[in-house]
């Protein structure tokens, strides 16, 4: 399953790289990319774990950059 999100307020390329690395390390994630220029987050992972992956990804985003809002694209 593949899900795309907008990271509203993302203004730090280094933070985007940190988010990408942390989300890729989550259980059930096969691939995650954060594009700083388009502020898009794409998560590919196991269907049955996707809800948990999304919740964990939201926490990663908030912990890395508290002002960023993760919205469905």
Tally of domains within the chain: 1
Find the CATH number of the domain harbouring 42: 3.30.70.100
The token pair at 53 is 């992956």
Domain span at residue 44 reads 2-72
Instruction: For 5-61, write each residue's pLDDT tens digit.
Output: 999 999 999 999 999 999 999 999 999 999 999 999 999 999 999 999 999 999 999
Three-state DSSP state, 11: coil
Could you write out the DSSP letters of every residue in 39-55? TEEEEEE-GGGHHHHHH
Strand duo 29-35 + 2-8: pairing: unpaired
Q: With cut-offs at 50, 70 and 90, classify the pLDDT of residue 2.
A: very high
Three-state DSSP state, 38: coil
What pTM was estimated for this model as a whole?
A: 0.95
């Amino acid at each position: 399953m593949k899900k795309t999100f907008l990271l509203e307020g993302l203004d730090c390329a280094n933070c985007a790289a940190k988010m990408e690395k942390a989300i890729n390390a989550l259980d059930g994630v096969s691939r995650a990319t954060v594009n700083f220029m388009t502020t898009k987050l794409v998560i590919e992972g196991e269907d049955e774990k996707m809800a948990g992956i999304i919740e964990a990804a939201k926490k990663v985003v908030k912990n890395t950059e508290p002002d960023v809002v993760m919205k469905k694209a």
